[in-house]
Amino acid sequence: MTLGCAKLDQQVADYLAWDQNVTTRSEIQKLLDEKNVDGLKARMNTRLVFGTAGVRAPMQAGFGRLNDLTIIQITHGFARHMLNVYGQPKTGVAIGFDGRHNSRRFAELAANVFIRNNIPVYFFSEVSPTPVVSWATINLGCDAGLIITASHNPKEDNGYKAYWSNGAQIIGPHDDEIVRIKEAEPQPREEYWDLSELKSSPLFHSADVVIDPYFAIEKSNNFTRDINTSTPLKFTYSAFHGIGYHYAKRMFTEFGFPASSFISVAEQQEPNPDFPTIPFPNPEEGRKVLTLSLETAEKNGSTVILANDPDADRIQLAEKQKDGEWRVFTGNEMGALLTWWIWTNWRKANPNVDASKVYILNSAVSSQIVKTIADAEGLTLHFFLAISHWRKMANPARDGYLEFANEPELPGEAENNPPAVERRSTLSEDSSLFQDRLPTENSITPEQAFIHMVKAMLGTGLLSLPLAFKHSGLFLGLILTIVICLICLYCMRQVVFAAHFVCNRNGRDLIDYANIMRGAVEMGPPWIKRRGYFFKQLVNVNMFISQLGFCCVYFVFMADNLEDASEVLRSLDAFKFRLRRFEFFDGTLLVVHLSFNKTGHRPMARDRHWPSWRRISLDSWTRTCGLLPARISSDGFSGQCSKGRSKVFATVDDLKAALEVSMGFDRRRTPCGALSNFGVRNVLRACVKARGSNFEILL
């Protein structure tokens, strides 16, 4: 079956030939049978690449989604890159997984690919927090690390987060090289699918041996054990249906807190890949995802809430205030609190350590309060401004002591430095969606981007600005223009952020407006998720209407200007100025000679320009009027007809009406054929300039 696109036909054929998972193969086969070209293009034309937090995508069939085949392809690229760098890796890879759908299977497939390439594997037998896998990579001396997790993404997603030997997430050139090999060698080897000998292989080891040492090293950061053991505080903890509960509970025990101080949100403490009690599994969302936590805290008299995301590398903090209200802290606020607490206690424990090599890492979009703290304390600290992303912040720790990394996320990637503190309590992972995009030679400055966006926001409205200012006035018009520009700029900024987020989630480089809306809706609460296609089409309809409106504005603008131009030309052609005689009267005298034929009541002049049907009924005074003397001013004229019948023309409109009648314009039948005020005023101005002269305008 052909789809009319050779490239797509080949992609579909390759996928069906290479994928050995019956479920995902049937997905593609169904789309093929339905000839759903758009659906197949969405699945096939995109490619998975490493973003700000590894690879993340929906779990579906296709080369642009996460499934058995693409997990094998990425891991093959990873393994081949390790072989190219290390020759033959000796220590291997630490591998973990979270509690999402397919996470364990994806981890086992990845482990099998490594082992088939003679690379040892250290595999966690149960779900494990992301920071523990990062730390295991260092503790076991592995060449690399891997965890299958999508962190706080929706339940439909999964992810592939890779570490290098320093426990930090891979950055360039490693990530680019892995993708290059994956694309160059897409067809998986047959043995990659056979998991029967995985756990019996001599290269397969358990990574569970690092768990106890992990808690042991964390206990070294317990500065207030005596206070902890007698604290009256109660802490409410939520794992958000993730994997943090057992680790958090043990951490409280290791730090000396009494059992009564740790209260878990029972409905959310065990892993559940469907996240049934929360609309979005991200504690950073605040109150709307902390409903059960707040209820549990109130019920048990707790004053502090701690909530991890599903892979336990991010945390949210809330505290009950004296007035009974709950304050949910921001990432920057938590970053400032932890910076102060960690530095103060570390310095007390290490008074003689040279502080010149202590780093506080702070990203470009995080609050600069940590630098203020350092300055206020009079410390010699290197303030490292991370302009890319937190995955690139852990590597400078190799040069000295990493005291704190404030993105404001603490990823756990720098635990190889002894004084470094526990990184499991993540504060914010994606506070900036664009930090990993470094400037290029084609980049523009923020000021230029601002100007471009202002121009884009005004758009067709520029054509209507003169009219807008005419009705609103200069001062109000300027203010409203600025306000509207700012509103539009904010909206466009949100659209760009949403586009980047959806692209990262779907593994795409580009996305249109309609699919931004669809992606956003499908990541929303359950009641709206299934309406993504409807909202996509709604955006398309509205964009069609708006574009039609823009075209109408252009047409109206051009028509108005063409009309004005044609009236000017017609006015100049209609009035032939000729000085007849030079006589003096009281004021300026205008003599308008109205010439008509006596039978047809049709103008004699320019008869060839007007159709024969353009006949008009003239008033009786107009039929008999020959010369019409008039006193001229800049606003109008007055006069009396030559036959003695009084007729006063007080305004320009009166003159305009008389001249239209004299020239044969029938306003009822030819609305666009009438004279303009502009043309009539030109006549008056010409007459006023000749003030004191008596002349006639010959029509």
Positive or negative, the CA dihedral 628, 630, 634, 636 is negative
Q: How much is the pLDDT for 601?
A: 37
Counting residues of the chain whose pLDDT is more than 90, the rounded percentage is 36
On whether both 640 and 693 belong to a single domain, the answer is yes
CATH code for position 86: 3.40.120.10
Domain boundary among 160, 177, 208: 208
Per-residue pLDDT band at 436 (split at 50, 70, 90): very low
The answer as to whether 26 is a domain residue is no
The answer as to whether 50 is a domain residue is yes
Q: What's the mean pLDDT in 671-679?
A: 44
Mean pLDDT is lowest, of 4-18, 146-160, 533-547, 562-576, for: 562-576
Question: In whole numbers, what is the pLDDT of the chain averaged over residues?
Answer: 74
Task: Give residues with Cβ within 8 angstroms of 240, minimum separation 6.
Answer: 268, 275, 278, 281, 283, 289, 307, 308, 309, 310
404 versus 549: which is more confidently predicted?
A: 549
Q: Which helix (H) or strand (E) holds 405?
A: strand 401-406
Q: How much is the pLDDT for 46?
A: 84
Domain total in the chain: 5
Examine the pLDDT at 497 and tell me if it is beyond 60: yes
Q: What's the mean pLDDT in 427-443?
A: 41
Per-residue pLDDT band at 520 (split at 50, 70, 90): confident
Which domain, by its residues, includes 661? Answer: 575-698
Domain boundary among 390, 406, 422: 406
Please check whether residue 47 is in contact with residue 64, taking contact to mean a CB–CB distance below 8 angstroms: yes
Cα separation, 28 vs 33, whole angstroms: 9
428 versus 87: which is more confidently predicted?
A: 87
On whether both 607 and 637 belong to a single domain, the answer is yes
Q: How much is the pLDDT for 396?
A: 52
The answer as to whether 536 is a domain residue is yes
Please check whether residue 283 is in contact with residue 307, taking contact to mean a CB–CB distance below 8 angstroms: yes
The answer as to whether 401 is a domain residue is yes
On whether both 238 and 119 belong to a single domain, the answer is no
631 versus 112: which is more confidently predicted?
A: 112
Domain boundary among 208, 233, 251: 208
The answer as to whether 402 is a domain residue is yes
Q: What's the mean pLDDT in 589-599?
A: 35
Q: How much is the pLDDT for 373?
A: 74
Q: What's the mean pLDDT in 160-167?
A: 93
On whether both 74 and 195 belong to a single domain, the answer is yes
Per-residue pLDDT band at 427 (split at 50, 70, 90): very low
Q: Report long-range pairs for 632-638 (Cβ below 8 Å, ≥24 apart).
A: 632/587, 632/588, 632/589, 632/590, 632/684, 632/687, 632/688, 632/691, 633/684, 633/688, 634/684, 634/685, 634/688, 635/684, 636/684, 637/590, 637/684, 637/687
User: Tell me: the pLDDT tens digits for 97-147?
Assistant: 999 999 999 999 999 999 999 999 999 999 999 999 999 999 999 999 999
Active site residues: 151
Single-letter amino acid code for the residue at 296? T
Across the beta sheet with 627-632, what order do the strands follow? Answer: 576-578, 694-698, 589-593, 627-632, 637-639
Q: What's the mean pLDDT in 351-373?
A: 71
Q: What's the mean pLDDT in 430-446?
A: 48
Cα separation, 510 vs 504, whole angstroms: 10
On whether both 50 and 197 belong to a single domain, the answer is yes
On whether both 304 and 348 belong to a single domain, the answer is no
On whether both 525 and 457 belong to a single domain, the answer is yes
User: Tell me: the pLDDT tens digits for 268-294?
Assistant: 999 999 999 998 899 988 888 999 999
Mean pLDDT is lowest, of 71-80, 185-194, 670-679, for: 670-679
The answer as to whether 90 is a domain residue is yes
The answer as to whether 19 is a domain residue is no
Across the beta sheet with 93-97, what order do the strands follow? Answer: 55-58, 157-164, 144-148, 93-97, 121-123, 204-206
Report the SS3 class of residue 30: helix
Report the SS3 class of residue 13: helix
The answer as to whether 155 is a domain residue is yes
Cα separation, 665 vs 680, whole angstroms: 14
Q: Which two tokens stand for residue 66?
A: 């996460």
On whether both 511 and 587 belong to a single domain, the answer is no
User: Tell me: the pLDDT tens digits for 455-464?
Assistant: 666 666 677 7
On whether both 275 and 370 belong to a single domain, the answer is no
DSSP state of 62: S
Q: How much is the pLDDT for 98?
A: 95
Q: How far is CA 327 from CA 282, 333, 532, in A?
A: 17, 11, 34
288 versus 608: which is more confidently predicted?
A: 288
Pick from 193-202, 513-522, 563-572 the range whose average pLDDT is largest.
193-202
Mean pLDDT is lowest, of 107-116, 313-322, 683-692, for: 683-692
On whether both 279 and 229 belong to a single domain, the answer is yes
Q: How much is the pLDDT for 571?
A: 56
On whether both 237 and 148 belong to a single domain, the answer is no
Examine the pLDDT at 203 and tell me if it is beyond 70: yes
Single-letter amino acid code for the residue at 158? N
- Taking residue 65's Cβ as centre, other Cβ atoms within 10 Å add up to 23
Name the H helices within 530-601: 532-574
pTM to 2 decimals?
Answer: 0.60
Mean pLDDT is lowest, of 20-34, 146-160, 540-554, 594-608, for: 594-608
Examine the pLDDT at 410 and tell me if it is beyond 50: no
Q: How much is the pLDDT for 408?
A: 43
On whether both 121 and 201 belong to a single domain, the answer is yes
User: Tell me: the pLDDT tens digits for 564-577?
Assistant: 777 666 655 444 43
